[in-house]
Amino acid sequence: MNRSKKGKNRKLFKKKSHSNNRLGCIIAIIVLIPILFGVYLYCQQINIQKNNELQTDTSLQIPLGKDLETPISLVPLQEQIIRHSGYTVSYNKDLKIPNWVSYELTREETKGKEKRGNRFIADPLVTGPIATNADYTRSGYDKGHMAPAADMKWSPEAMKESFYFSNMCPQHPQLNRRGWKNLEEKIRNWAIADSAIIIICGPIIEKQPKTIGKNKVAVPQRFFKVVLSPFAKPIRAIGFLFNNEQAVEPLSSYVVTVDSIESLTNMDFFAPLPDEIENKIEANANYSLWPN
């Protein structure tokens, strides 16, 4: 074969190679398009499914606030249930402190103008012994509100009730004035953002607690607080656990699941919720989901 024919063959081969490469690219693009489109559709379907689950959750009937405020004790408990205008308390006459205190805080209630009281008095509805100011004097502990006075500014009666000793526990000063107070302020912000929230809080007591005063008021080892936002979309719940000592870390350091507090207290919180909602929200504790 002469050189001119060889040159023509090389050119022809190059043209065919370029054509083949171009054709290969076109085929690859044609193949990839439906694959990518399929991935897109799959992602869309997942999002739709999540939205449907969320809509299903929020479409289930949510009980009224009062129904959600009362925890169920899973073990026998010494208690007297007292329903005040501002909060409900399970009072323990043996310990002279509450087992728990619960209330709903609404956005409107945070706008109250009632001035803070400062007169700690016996709860007139309590049957049996109760703490006095003398029990706390020089004890090293603050009279720690469970339902804070600042949440009761919407009513003179509710403000007065918040200073009943049935609403008090011996609390380390640097818990009462720092971490516990910071959480109370944060919860008021959540009530404003979410229109209304449910709060249940109280002490965690060991079998033989330390006591203070003539009336032998029990000193809790820890304190819990669980919060439910029933009107948020999706519904949220979160728990907080503090040792009865100085608490100066960020609030996120004290976050726990509601489930874990139920285990510690032998109580079932928010039991009237549909099970599929209750199980989901009580197993999660994501502080970042709550308004800043």
Q: Structural domain boundaries of the chain?
A: 1-59, 65-289
Q: What's the predicted TM-score (pTM) here? A: 0.80
Averaged pLDDT for residues 36-55 = 53
Cβ atoms 110, 99 nearer than 8 A = no
Q: Under 8 Å CB-to-CB from 160, ≥6 apart: which residues?
A: 117
Cβ atoms 200, 71 nearer than 8 A = yes
pLDDT tens digits for range 133-172: 999 999 999 999 999 999 999 999 999 999 999 999 999 9
Q: Which residue has the tokens 């709060």?
A: 199
Cβ atoms 179, 254 nearer than 8 A = yes
Residue 224 in tokens: 């819990």
Give how far Cα 87 sits from Cα of 29, 199, 203, Å: 67, 10, 16
| Bridge pairing between strands 80-83 and 88-92 | antiparallel
Cβ atoms 33, 237 nearer than 8 A = no
Binding-site residues for Mg(2+), in ranges, read 176
Averaged pLDDT for residues 235-245 = 98
Q: Which residue has the tokens 């004790």?
A: 73
SS3 111: helix
The pLDDT score that the predictor gives to residue 158 is: 98
Give how far Cα 69 sits from Cα of 8, 63, 225, 229, Å: 91, 10, 12, 12
For domain 65-289, give the CATH number: 3.40.570.10
Cβ atoms 215, 130 nearer than 8 A = yes
- CA–CA separation, 87 vs 53, rounded Å? 34
Nearest to 161 by CA among 131, 201, 113, 117: 117
Binding-site residues, in ranges, read 176
Averaged pLDDT for residues 200-207 = 95
The helix (run of H) or strand (run of E) holding residue 67 is helix 65-69
- CA–CA separation, 198 vs 92, rounded Å? 22
- CA–CA separation, 143 vs 253, rounded Å? 24
The yes-or-no verdict on residue 2 having pLDDT over 70 is: no
Q: Cα-atom radius of gyration of the chain, to the nearest Å?
A: 31
Terminal-residue alpha carbon distance, the chain:
84
Least confident of 18-32, 201-215, 277-291: 18-32
145 catalytic, yes or no?
Answer: yes
The helix (run of H) or strand (run of E) holding residue 33 is helix 3-59
- CA–CA separation, 189 vs 292, rounded Å? 8
- CA–CA separation, 195 vs 285, rounded Å? 21
Averaged pLDDT for residues 13-22 = 54
Q: Under 8 Å CB-to-CB from 191, ≥6 apart: which residues?
A: 105, 106, 107, 109, 110, 197
- CA–CA separation, 57 vs 79, rounded Å? 34
Q: Which residue has the tokens 């010494």?
A: 78
The pLDDT score that the predictor gives to residue 206 is: 85
Per-residue confidence band for 248, with pLDDT thresholds at 50, 70 and 90: very high
- CA–CA separation, 14 vs 17, rounded Å? 5
Per-residue confidence band for 55, with pLDDT thresholds at 50, 70 and 90: very low
When comparing pLDDT for 37 and 97, which is higher? 97
